[in-house]
Structure 1
Amino acid sequence: MTWTTSDIPEQSGRIALITGANSGLGLESARALSAHGATVVLACRSRQKGAEARTELLPTATAGLEVLELDLANLASVRDAARWMADQYGRLDLLLNNAGVMGTPRTQTRDGFELQFGTNHLGHFALTTALLPLLDERPGSRVVTVTSGAQYFGRIAFDDLMGERRYDRWKAYSQSKLANVMFALELQQRLTAAGSTTISLAAHPGLARTNLQPTSVAANGSKLESFAYRLMDPLFQSAAMGALPQLFAATAPEAKGGEHYGPDQWGGMRGWPTEVRLAPAALDPAQRRRLWEVSETLISRGQ
């Protein structure tokens, strides 16, 4: 299926919030949605970088572009952002949980969580649950959570979620990406049970050239990792191509709640968006419920 941004339906009157919208997949998603009429809220950790992204997007935007300061590694910032959205708009049509960190040394969020789990999963969990009232009953409202191919290697270490006893940065990353998928599926189940018309989907970009790779290399100072990325570079597709699965999940009329989209070629590494398999570890309803309940407890302690 060759689906491009030209296939995005008209988005006039819709409000979209995109986390990590100042670069990579988030920036390309904002570019596409704003060009098709959506009012886009660029939720960025750095207000300055958000403003720079807004300036870049303005020439092609056909509706409003707002910058919202949001640090997913700080639950107070997440709560402030949710309150701002309620005060500023009072409604939301699309939440694109896009931001993330990858392969970092063991670091803690402001609330004491391991950085990758705390940012990639818990930050988005807290943001989504806070914004659900704004999405509820909005026609066609969606939550799209961005994961990666690392989900297939992930395992939720419930006995050591924060890597306090043993930390491996790539296992921690895979855990957070598996958690993204489990969250998207459990959210859909809960929305359906509540009779909500909002739907939840997941998407992954395959191998996309974004700032995640150089940031990871810089954070760890690994010459071997840097060399490996240079060797793999021809395999990477552009951020614009990598953003297509999440844009399809966000806008395509045929996309359904609980579905998962990724590239259709090279085992999901690149290509056009299509429905792709979920990590087997995400398919256990009991484990998804357990993750949800643990996440609720953790974010309540962080308040």
Structure 2
Amino acid sequence: MNLAITGPTSGIGEITLQKLIPHFDKVFLLARNADKAAKTIQSLPEDQQSKAEFIHLDLASMDSVVKAVKEIQEKSSQIDVLINNAGGIFHEKTVTDDGFELTFSANHLGHFLLTNKLMPWILKAENPKIINVSSEAHNAANVNFEDLNYEKKSYSAFTSYANVKLFNILFTKSLYEKYAEQGLQAFSLHPGVVKTNFASEAGGIFKVFWVLARPFMITAEQGAETSIFLAKNNIPSSQNGSYFKKSKPAKASKAANSKSMREKLWYNSEKLLAKWL
């Protein structure tokens, strides 16, 4: 069995990797920083290190995503579990070289492209799974599908982050709708408010909130529990497509369950990524 995970070199991604690697034959660490990936691999038990392989992936560069997929396909016959774990919140509006707002690119578009390009390899698995790390922040989303890159409206770090966390859930439900009949299971999850360096790029009121909330936050080990649970366990088919909290199906927002919103998101994502898809 083969696992691919984004954002495996820090926070809950690193814990998820450490806990899951004994259960897989091969694990692809999809990350930007080769040095951090090397240190992460070296920190694994010696008998597990040979299973881990770094593949460069920058979710803010769609060319990088396409290249990463080709590498994975060259080095494996299938992917049994894909965990789209990487994410970030960014204080200042940044536009990538591809012309996308960075939060949108790094949290949604990059994973959308990665997942879709890898889909033939994922569907080769006997029990394929895709796990998307979302957040309760999705409840604060305020999406304008006419301005996904904040070209008209002023940029808000927190609203942009809330929107992409909603997109993670909408994307999951679309994957379930499109591929469940071919055996795919797709899940999204809220890891909890985790004490990591996650919000180091944030600023303004969100950074103040993060500092004040730190004493009440959970550890990265606790934050990784739901991802690990979903990857390791047989989940009933009745829960396929669901949003999870604390390893149990949970209620997502009304917007997260909107069929029209997930159809708009898929349509717009395909349109924006047409060059790479």
Does 1:293 pair with 2:262? Answer: no
Please state how far the C-alpha of 1:103 moved relative to its aligned partner. Answer: 3.6
What residue number does 1:243 align with? 224
Q: Are residue 49 (structure 1) and residue 36 (structure 2) matched?
A: yes
Q: Which residue of 2 aligns with 1:169?
A: 157
The whole-number CA distance in structure 2 between the counterparts of 1:117 and 1:27 is 23
Write the distance in 2 (CA, Å) between the matches of 1:153 and 1:228. 15
Normalised by the length of structure 2, the TM-score is 0.93
Alpha-carbon displacement from aligned partner over 1:141-186 (angstroms, at most 9, x marks no partner):
1000110111111132112111111211111111111011100001
Say if 1:225 and 1:182 are closer, same or farther in 2 by CA, change over 3 A. closer
Report the more deviating stretch, 165-174 or 119-128.
Answer: 165-174
1:252 aligns with 2:252: no
Cα separation, partners in 2 of 1:104 and 1:60, compared to 1, 3 Å: farther
The number of equivalent residue pairs is: 274
- Matching of residue 190 in structure 1 with residue 173 in structure 2: no
Structure 1 CA distance for aligned equivalents of residues 135 and 95 of structure 2: 22
The 2-side partners of 1:116 and 1:80 are apart by: 21
Q: Is the 8 A contact 1:36 1:62 kept in 2?
A: no
- Aligned amino acid, residue 96 of structure 1: I
Asked whether the equivalents of residues 204 and 246 of structure 1 are also in contact (C-alpha less than 8 Å), the reply is no
CA contact (8 A) 1:37 1:63 kept: no
Is the Cα–Cα contact under 8 Å of residues 18 and 95 in structure 1 kept in the other structure?
Answer: yes
Q: Is residue 2:200 matched to residue 1:232? A: no
- Say whether the 8 Å CA contact 1:203–1:249 is kept in structure 2: no
Look up the SS of the partner of 2:182 in the other structure. coil
Q: Specify whether residues 274 and 63 from structure 1 end up closer, same or farther in structure 2 by C-alpha distance, changes over 3 A only.
A: farther
Deviation for aligned residue 1:247:
1.5
State the shift of 1:36 in Å.
3.0
Distance in 2 (CA, whole Å) between partners of 1:145 and 1:228 is 25
Query: Structure 1's 278 and 226: CA in aligned 2 closer, same or farther, altered over 3 A?
Result: closer
Q: CA deviation at 1:232?
A: 1.2
Q: Is the CA contact (8 Å cut-off) linking 1:152 and 1:279 kept in structure 2?
A: yes
1:31 counterpart = 2:12: no
- What do the CA deviations read for 1:196-240 (whole angstroms, capped 9, x no partner)? 112111111111112212x224xx4x5x65553332112110111
Paired position in structure 1 for 2:245: 262
The alignment's C-alpha RMSD in Å is: 1.8
Q: Equivalent of 2:197, from 203, 207, 211?
A: 211
**Per-residue deviation at 1:25?**
1.1
Instruction: Report the equivalent of 2:134.
Output: 147
Distance 2:26 2:108 in 1: 25
Q: Work out the CA distance in 2 between the residues paired with 1:91 and 1:137.
A: 6
* SS of alignment partner, residue 57 of structure 1: coil
CA deviations 1:30-63 (Å, max 9, x no partner) are: 0011133442111111111111111112447376
Contact 1:156–1:179 (CA<8 Å) still a contact in 2? Answer: no
Residue 300 of structure 1 and its aligned partner are, at CA, apart by 1.2
Please show how residues 88-107 of structure 1 align to structure 2 within 5 Å: 88-107=75-94
Q: Assess, with a 3 A threshold, how the Cα gap between structure 1 residues 284 and 229 changes in structure 2: closer, same or farther.
A: closer
- Residue-by-residue CA offset, 1:83-114 (whole Å, 9 max, x unaligned): 00111112110100000111431001221100
Query: Structure 1 stretch 32-41 or stretch 134-143: which is displaced more?
Result: 32-41
Q: Does the 8 A contact of 1:26 with 1:99 survive in 2?
A: yes
User: For residues 16 and 63 of structure 1, what CA distance do their matches in structure 2 show?
Assistant: 14
3-state SS of 2:5 partner: strand
Distance 1:226 1:178 in 2: 21
Q: Which runs of 5+ in 2 are unaligned?
A: none
Query: Partners of 2:86 and 2:114 in 1: how far apart?
Result: 12
- Contact 2:9 2:31 (C-alpha < 8 Å) held by counterparts: yes
Match of 2:110 in 1: 123
Q: Which residue of 2 aligns with 1:4?
A: none
- Aligned-partner residue type, residue 242 of structure 2: E
The answer for unaligned runs of 5 or more in structure 1 is 1-13, 264-272
